[in-house]
Amino acid sequence: MTPTVYPELIETLPDIDLDLAGVRGKLLQAEGRQVVFFDFQPKAVIPPHSHRSQWGIMVEGEMDLTIGGRTRTYRKGDNYFIPAGVEHSASFRTRVKAIDFFDDPERYRPKKR
């Protein structure tokens, strides 16, 4: 059983359908947009990819985020913006909680139960 990461009102949101080891997310769907409350385990890796624009904020932990070939370490309170179509990837030094806003209503789908 995964320990509770966010308050119950967030934990009761649907899980995202994503099959990456050490990555979990709770989906908040809006018209034309999505917000995902992520929980990344240490050593998790998000491989290089691109999509529509994304803005995020670090709630807890440390991650190395590469955006368009430039890598930077992000910590609690830091925010980041990834323009549409720009390749990016991430690795996680510690357990990370991050909230990401996607300019795409279909970036993630809820996991089927």
Mean pLDDT of 66-94: 98
Domain ranges of the chain: 8-94
Q: Which fold has domain 8-94?
A: Jelly Rolls (2.60.120)
DSSP conformational letter for 15? B
pLDDT band with cut points at 50, 70 and 90 for residue 112? confident
Average pLDDT of the chain is: 94
Closest residue by Cα to residue 110 from 17, 1, 5, 8: 17
The token pair at 64 is: 């190395």
pLDDT in tens, 39-76: 999 999 999 999 999 999 999 999 999 999 999 999 99
Cα Rg of the chain, angstroms: 13
Residue 80 has a pLDDT of 98
The token pair at 110 is: 């809820």
pLDDT band with cut points at 50, 70 and 90 for residue 1? very low
pLDDT in tens, 4-30: 679 999 999 999 999 999 999 999 999
pTM reported for the whole predicted model: 0.93
Interatomic CA distance for residues 20 and 108, integer angstroms: 13
Interatomic CA distance for residues 51 and 60, integer angstroms: 24
pLDDT in tens, 95-105: 999 999 999 99
Segment holding 10, helix H or strand E = helix 8-11
Interatomic CA distance for residues 104 and 98, integer angstroms: 18
